[in-house]
Structure 1
Amino acid sequence: MLCSASQFKGVDILLTSPWPKYVGSFGNSSGEVDTKKCGSSLVSSLVTSLKPRYHFAALEKTYYERLPYRNHIVLQETAQHATRFIALANVGNPEKKKYLYAFSIVPMKLMNAADLVKQPPDVTENPYRKTEKEAFTGKQIPTPEEESACQFFFDLDGKHGKKRSSTGRDSKSSPHTKQPCKLPWPPGPCWFCLASPEVEKHLVVNIGTHCYLALAKGGLCDDHVLILPIGHYQSVVELSAEVVEEVGKYKATLRQFFKNRGKRCVLFERNYKSHHLQLQVIPVPLNCCSTDDIKDAFITQAQEQQIELLEIPEHSDIKQIAQPGAAYFYVELDTGEKLFHRIKKHFPLQFGREVLASEAILNIPDKSDWRQCQISKEEEETLALRFRKDFEPFDFSLDD
């Protein structure tokens, strides 16, 4: 086939009647069309092979211009051109939805390689990217995690942060499961699975449906918190879609929470010699340093320790960069800028803390190791109660 030839780069324009299934994934809203249910998986497969620069479809009789998406995996494959999907409404429709689209295009065979693969600033991940657990066979195969998520509801103190069940009634037990957990359990004791007896529940400050917040043990500061999945997941790469969505809500809420307190937050994950996902969220006073200073500090210290810390596109999905089981270190700044290191052999376990504790940022180098920052349980309970009360006005789960 032509598209399997090594010199094949793609096509300039593709016209189909049906929409491709899943086209809305990772992109802007497709309006009233649910792209997980509507559309053709065969067209999705076709688009994946042909890699058109422009793809037009019209069967759903509505206008939808999706954000452009990339046709390569960042840091793993050679850069390729982006694709734009445009759906048009039927001609003369009474709602006056757009049914004409004017554009100019230079054929790719006449373009130089650099101009062809230049990525637009709003580019997103490929919505049709196949994973090990899905293929275009007419339906998307759900993972076990997506079929049955493990949900826990935990009454923190009887007054603050009480969670309600999906029926709207307050939970009565502390904690209890809404349904049996089918997620894989770790081989040994886990300090972060919420149902585990090893969890230090006095550090828990907020609980959602799939994730919870807890103060960090031996934190860099009093409001250093962790975003943790309730069930057992090792890294962000392994999270199901519903957990990823709630992690995003927590990240956005914490940014707003700390901004109101005159701080910006830095988030990092170390998926190396760890059993349960821990997203570290550390607030940094706005008058302490700028986001550029924080970014420079990470890059400088990485270079000094011969760590290749690469900047990845703002709209990239870490699931497209790291495979399940791969070791990595990942930093996300308050501007959305992201730094990524693929761990191959050895990696300093305290690297993230060392950078943030350095003179360039928080200037508390003696706190770079969490074991040197532990306080009594009574002090931890006091800090947790304070954070819980301060965070309550921002608790999005109370609005669900």
Structure 2
Amino acid sequence: MASKIVVIGDVNGHFAAVFQKLAALHAKNSFAFALIVGNLFAHPASSTPEDESSVQSLVQGKINVPFTTYFALGSNPFPQSIIEKLESSEEEVCQNLFFLGKRTTMKTSEGIRIVALGGQLDPNIIAGASKDKYPPYYGETDAKILRGATSADILVTGQWPAGIRKRSKVEFKPDMEPQTQECIADLDIILKPRYHFSTSGNTFFEREPFFHAPSEETDGLYPVTRFISLAAYGNPSKQKWIYAFSLDPTSSNPVTAPSGSTSSPLSLSDKKRTAPAYRQSGLVYEDNHSRRPNKRRRGENRGPLTAAECFFCLANENVATHLVTSIGDNAYMTTAKGPLPTSHTFPKLGFPCHLLIIPLEHLPTLGSMEEEDRHATYTEMQKYRTSMNSMLHSVGGAEYGSVTWEVSKSSLPHTHWQYLPVPVDLIQKGLVEAAFKALGENLHYPAFKKEDVGDGFEETGDFFRVLIWDPKDPVERLTSFVMRIDESIRFHNQFGREVLAKLLRLDNRVDWHNCGQTQEEEEQNVADFKAAFKEFDFTAE
């Protein structure tokens, strides 16, 4: 069912007039919700006592907001009173008025999926995602995280996508050219939103619709994006500052390129990586024993949850981004929630060093990825592993080796590796190898084979593998053991953790749920790890 939506450009503090206009329109149209995609508040440097009084009236509920309205983060800083209100009221300024967030993936009650990236790009934010919600700036990592949102009905950004005016015949003569960014063009290419809204000062711009090339991902259809940039309310040329339309999120993409549309003017900034074909999935950390037929896995859907709901997908707005330590082109690394070791387990390190190496693409196995993505992802995951080995050697000398393990199961939603240091004598005495084999035998699992299966493409079924590094060897070398699992095996996903817990005499920490930390402790562990890993983090080059 189609919903009526109204979108507004910069309000710049004119709350009473704009909301009065919305109330009149709502009485006739019954909108589902409104989106303010520019600056709701006037810039503090130019605000008047009247502006400040209006802000207080808004916060106190004296200005009527007639129906659900979401406002984006524009280029103006928020008034301090607004920040205090948002912090104390779960992002609600007053009845019906909600902050959309700086980096947001959300679905409305009508089923409309909104992705938003507010503010302006700050190239100085290089150490990861921007942590502060309210300053009007974002980093490249914020944009990269939103790549995982799988799709969008509406994309809202404070800046334009680079190249958006190519192939367009629409006249545009702004007072000042809007800033454009490659990372926003990437979002258009990957998310393929039906509508993309932004702002452009006192000038309105609506580009011809552009279509994305049909592919297996789009079922051979032509997704169409409409890019619309609204003028500010009260602009002197009376250009369009408000835009109303209807949207049915269940409607199909067209089977041919629509009349009057152009091909996409945008190009992916990272030419090595194509737009990922994200598929459905579920939680990764939980150990459930449901089985699926053990057949070739490429192209299959996996579970009821989308990437935006998966706790290993960066698109999930609830993901613990403070645990993320590094984001590459195809994979990222994060410290484990509920780590097996403590900060005291490895004295020369001083932090747990239990890391997860996770593909950005939302699939159950490496082998189920398309060839180009599979090669690139596996290569980068190995690069993370060897970089970690280099860090261990630098900090601990020859005292620590490493163990990396993977559960490759078609019934799991999002594949990943887990990485852990181990004392070198456990490796060189053969105790790591023996421990994996012994617990496997006790559980009546199939035998391990000493074999390297690479990116897993040739494997036709589920498997568990462990990669062992001895510090006497080059950092890239590994010894690989593989256990192939068929449908008759009730394999539990915490097998690798259980083996290492017994080896490290941490039996009471087998279950990660029992190893919780405060956020302050987690952030301290991350900071300590980043300081040690900084020299070896290839993504910072």
Q: 1:290 to 1:232 in 2, by over 3 A?
A: same
Match of 2:496 in 1: 352
User: Is 1:330 the equivalent of 2:465?
Assistant: yes
Given candidates 165, 172, 181, the residue that maps to 2:139 is 172
| In structure 2, C-alpha distance between the alignment counterparts of 1:201 and 1:234, rounded to whole Å | 21
Q: 1:276 to 1:282 in 2, by over 3 A?
A: same
Contact 2:278–2:362, Cα closer than 8 Å, also in 1: yes
Give the letter aligned to residue 342 of structure 1.
Answer: R
| In structure 2, C-alpha distance between the alignment counterparts of 1:318 and 1:206, rounded to whole Å | 21
Given candidates 277, 291, 296, the residue that maps to 1:183 is 277
Structure 2: give runs of 5+ residues left out of the alignment.
Answer: 1-116, 131-136, 145-182, 191-275, 281-303, 342-351, 471-477
Structure 2 counterpart SS, 1:244: helix
Give the letter aligned to residue 373 of structure 1.
Answer: C
Deviation at 1:354, TM superposition (A): 0.9
User: Is 1:313 the equivalent of 2:457?
Assistant: no
User: Is 1:384 the equivalent of 2:478?
Assistant: no
User: Is 1:256 the equivalent of 2:400?
Assistant: no
Given candidates 379, 393, 396, the residue that maps to 2:535 is 393
Structure 2 counterpart SS, 1:185: coil
Given candidates 428, 433, 438, the residue that maps to 1:295 is 433
Give the letter aligned to residue 267 of structure 1.
Answer: T
Give the letter aligned to residue 357 of structure 2.
Answer: I
User: Is 1:208 the equivalent of 2:328?
Assistant: yes
Deviation at 1:198, TM superposition (A): 3.0
| In structure 1, C-alpha distance between the alignment counterparts of 2:123 and 2:516, rounded to whole Å | 22
| In structure 2, C-alpha distance between the alignment counterparts of 1:267 and 1:214, rounded to whole Å | 14
Q: 1:339 to 1:313 in 2, by over 3 A?
A: closer
Q: 1:318 to 1:246 in 2, by over 3 A?
A: closer
* CA offset digits 1:43-91 (Å, max 9, x no partner): xxxxxxxxxxxxxxxxxxxxxxxxxxxxxxxxxxxxxxxxxxxxxxxxx
Structure 1: give runs of 5+ residues left out of the alignment.
Answer: 1-151, 164-169
Q: 1:370 to 1:172 in 2, by over 3 A?
A: closer
| In structure 2, C-alpha distance between the alignment counterparts of 1:155 and 1:213, rounded to whole Å | 23
Match of 2:513 in 1: 371
| In structure 1, C-alpha distance between the alignment counterparts of 2:386 and 2:459, rounded to whole Å | 23
| In structure 2, C-alpha distance between the alignment counterparts of 1:199 and 1:207, rounded to whole Å | 14
Q: 1:232 to 1:257 in 2, by over 3 A?
A: same
Give the letter aligned to residue 363 of structure 2.
Answer: Y
Match of 1:245 in 2: 379
Q: 1:394 to 1:291 in 2, by over 3 A?
A: farther
Structure 1 counterpart SS, 2:412: coil
Task: Using the aligned pairs only, state the percent identity.
Answer: 26
Contact 1:175–1:195, Cα closer than 8 Å, also in 2: no
Contact 2:129–2:140, Cα closer than 8 Å, also in 1: no
Deviation at 1:217, TM superposition (A): 0.8
Give the letter aligned to residue 193 of structure 1.
Answer: C
Structure 2 counterpart SS, 1:380: helix
Deviation at 1:238, TM superposition (A): 2.7
| In structure 2, C-alpha distance between the alignment counterparts of 1:301 and 1:246, rounded to whole Å | 30
Deviation at 1:366, TM superposition (A): 0.7
User: Is 1:340 the equivalent of 2:468?
Assistant: no
Structure 2 counterpart SS, 1:340: strand
Within 5 Å, which residues of 2 pair with 1:1-400?
158=125, 160=127, 172-177=139-144, 178=183, 179=186, 180-181=189-190, 182-186=276-280, 187-188=304-305, 189-221=309-341, 222-239=352-369, 240-260=374-394, 261=396, 262-272=399-409, 273-287=411-425, 290=428, 292-314=430-452, 316-323=453-460, 326-335=461-470, 336-343=478-485, 344-345=487-488, 346-358=490-502, 361-399=503-541
More strand, by proportion: 2
Match of 1:122 in 2: none
Deviation at 1:283, TM superposition (A): 0.9
| In structure 1, C-alpha distance between the alignment counterparts of 2:315 and 2:447, rounded to whole Å | 35
Give the letter aligned to residue 494 of structure 2.
Answer: Q
Deviation at 1:289, TM superposition (A): 5.2
Contact 2:313–2:362, Cα closer than 8 Å, also in 1: yes
Contact 2:326–2:539, Cα closer than 8 Å, also in 1: no
Deviation at 1:327, TM superposition (A): 2.4
Deviation at 1:393, TM superposition (A): 0.6
Deviation at 1:271, TM superposition (A): 2.6
TM-score (norm: length of structure 2): 0.40
Give the letter aligned to residue 192 of structure 1.
Answer: F
Give the letter aligned to residue 278 of structure 2.
Answer: P
Give the letter aligned to residue 366 of structure 2.
Answer: V
TM-score (norm: length of structure 1): 0.54
Name the Cα RMSD after superposition. 2.9
Contact 1:155–1:174, Cα closer than 8 Å, also in 2: no
Give the letter aligned to residue 184 of structure 1.
Answer: Y
Alignment: residue pair count:
236
| In structure 1, C-alpha distance between the alignment counterparts of 2:537 and 2:141, rounded to whole Å | 19
| In structure 1, C-alpha distance between the alignment counterparts of 2:123 and 2:447, rounded to whole Å | 39
| In structure 2, C-alpha distance between the alignment counterparts of 1:384 and 1:376, rounded to whole Å | 12
| In structure 2, C-alpha distance between the alignment counterparts of 1:192 and 1:398, rounded to whole Å | 22
Q: 1:278 to 1:373 in 2, by over 3 A?
A: same
Contact 1:156–1:204, Cα closer than 8 Å, also in 2: no
Structure 2 counterpart SS, 1:206: strand
| In structure 1, C-alpha distance between the alignment counterparts of 2:123 and 2:444, rounded to whole Å | 44
| In structure 2, C-alpha distance between the alignment counterparts of 1:391 and 1:162, rounded to whole Å | 17
Give the letter aligned to residue 213 of structure 1.
Answer: M
| In structure 1, C-alpha distance between the alignment counterparts of 2:481 and 2:122, rounded to whole Å | 36
Structure 2 counterpart SS, 1:265: strand
| In structure 2, C-alpha distance between the alignment counterparts of 1:309 and 1:155, rounded to whole Å | 52
| In structure 1, C-alpha distance between the alignment counterparts of 2:380 and 2:513, rounded to whole Å | 30
Q: 1:174 to 1:286 in 2, by over 3 A?
A: same
Contact 2:400–2:422, Cα closer than 8 Å, also in 1: yes
| In structure 2, C-alpha distance between the alignment counterparts of 1:386 and 1:156, rounded to whole Å | 24
